[in-house]
A and B are shown apart, each in its own frame.
Chain A
């Protein structure tokens, strides 16, 4: 390809890039909750909040998984520096999603929460994805990365499972109109396909380990 682009991301650009991610993620979140609390979010602010935070978490997760392909394709190695931030904001939205569900939808009916997690497949997979993102968030620091050593990468590979579960959660949650969740599913699949070699290695390693254990 002979596309000539001279732009190269420099360390001096990073703070600005990070600032725009902070603003881009925080402003809509704060505005939407403000609208919800002041009852300006349509007839049922609870549903609106759940849709906004759920979709927001999914979008940010996809964005964080787009960073590596983008950095490689356009040779912008520094871009990798914003991946963690996007991942953390994805969990922030997922956290708001679950808290809004428990607080405003189920209204702290813990028995109902438990039975919904067990009985409703779309909630089961959504909750599983939430737990994965939660553990990735807890281990997102440099310190955790050092102390976990090689296990850190193993743990963080679960992000691929998380994005698949989130895609299923969205697909199974809708009453009709599969087009939108299917578009998101295709985007997730494309990002996983980009990592097919890595995923294949992970799977074969698993199988080998399993065989070793049997012997």
Chain B
């Protein structure tokens, strides 16, 4: 990783940041193994330069960004977000990046574009999880995710290229990843190579694997349990030790109430 030029977050976050050491050693990135410490162990040789991020589909001006452009095309800013994993743990992360909306606007989406589909790099040579079903946890690759266009255009939705002032470590989704802070972590797809505007709801990886457990929306919602565990509370990963009282109540939309209007009139028990 190397240092980045960015505008620091302009307001202090009320919650303590999760230490950098924890953010870069506790990861779900099945392309590098299913254990929480597998990505940090297996991803260090991951070569992200050259990179190519293609923005395409129902847009007037499709384009491709190379590695350097990821950091130069849009002004970078720091955003401190809570990140809530579907496994009921959470962190507070100082991301660096730019709005997904800025990127999409550059492509000039057509009015027929209703959804945005994302795809992670497919490279079994570099990603052991893609090479072997055993190492990759039995999910289908490449990893795919999707958002409704209004979710994608929401000012909170971030494309991140760094954290804690530096470029992203490979295990956190280098060189560029999505961050949707009001949704469970698995929506925030890593190491993106393709962003496609589409008129149909795109398939999403965890939904393909277990539709009854992982919905398309995956909004953080303490009132809708995962079929196999409660989502009412979460354990905040912090610097304090084993005995710290870090179990906290989970908030609707992970506390980002400003997105509630996106889902007005929807039954969030059905569209979980």
User: Which chain A residues have a beta carbon within 8 Å of chain B's beta carbons?
Assistant: 36-37, 39, 42-49, 103-107, 109, 112, 115-116, 119-122, 172-173, 175-179
Contacts and interface: CB of A to CB of B under 8 A. Distances in A.
B36 A46 contact: no
B231 to A, nearest CB: 12
A109 B26 contact: no
28 contacts: A39-B242, A42-B25, A42-B36, A43-B23, A43-B25, A43-B27, A44-B26, A44-B89, A47-B36, A48-B36, A49-B242, A103-B243, A104-B242, A104-B243, A107-B246, A116-B230, A119-B225, A119-B230, A122-B228, A173-B228, A175-B87, A176-B34, A176-B138, A176-B209, A176-B210, A177-B34, A179-B134, A179-B138
A104 B243 CA distance: 6
5 nearest CB pairs, A to B: A43-B26, A177-B137, A43-B22, A176-B137, A43-B25
Q: Which of A42, A43, A104, A173 has the most CB of B within 10 A?
A: A43
Main DSSP-derived SS at the A contact region:
helix
A168 to B, nearest CB: 12
Given A43-B23, A47-B89, A106-B247, A37 B36 contact: no
A193 B198 CA distance: 54
A36 B244 CA distance: 13
B149 interface: no
Contacts of A112: 230, 232-233
Nearest to A107: B247
Given A36-B242, A43-B26, A179-B134, A120 B229 contact: yes
Interface in B201-248: 209-210, 225, 228-230, 232-233, 235, 237, 241-243, 245-247
B242 A172 contact: no
B138 A177 contact: yes
Given A109-B247, A176-B209, A46 B34 contact: no
A37 B241 contact: yes
B200 interface: no
Interface string B26-54: 11001000101100000000000000000
Contacts of A115: 230
Contact of B133 (A119, A120, A179): A179
Contact of B26 (A42, A119, A121, A172): A42
B206 to A, nearest CB: 8
A47 B27 CA distance: 12
B139 interface: yes
Nearest to B136: A177
Q: Which of A39, A103, A112, A121 has the most CB of B within 10 A?
A: A39
Contacts of B246: 107
B242 A121 contact: no
Contacts of A121: 228
A44 B246 CA distance: 12
A125 to B, nearest CB: 12
Contacts of A120: 228-230
B228 A46 contact: no
Contacts of A119: 225, 230
Contacts of B225: 119
B209 A43 contact: no
Contacts of A172: 228
Q: Which of B137, B241, B242 has the most CB of A within 10 A?
A: B242
A156 B84 CA distance: 44
A178 B34 CA distance: 11
A122 B242 CA distance: 24
Nearest to B247: A107
Given A44-B26, A44-B89, A37 B235 contact: no
A43 B27 CA distance: 8
A132 B181 CA distance: 43
Given A116-B230, A176-B137, A176-B139, 11 more contacts: A43-B237, A44-B26, A105-B247, A106-B247, A107-B246, A107-B247, A115-B230, A173-B228, A176-B209, A179-B134, A179-B138
Contacts of A177: 34, 134, 137-138
Contact of B36 (A39, A44, A106): A44
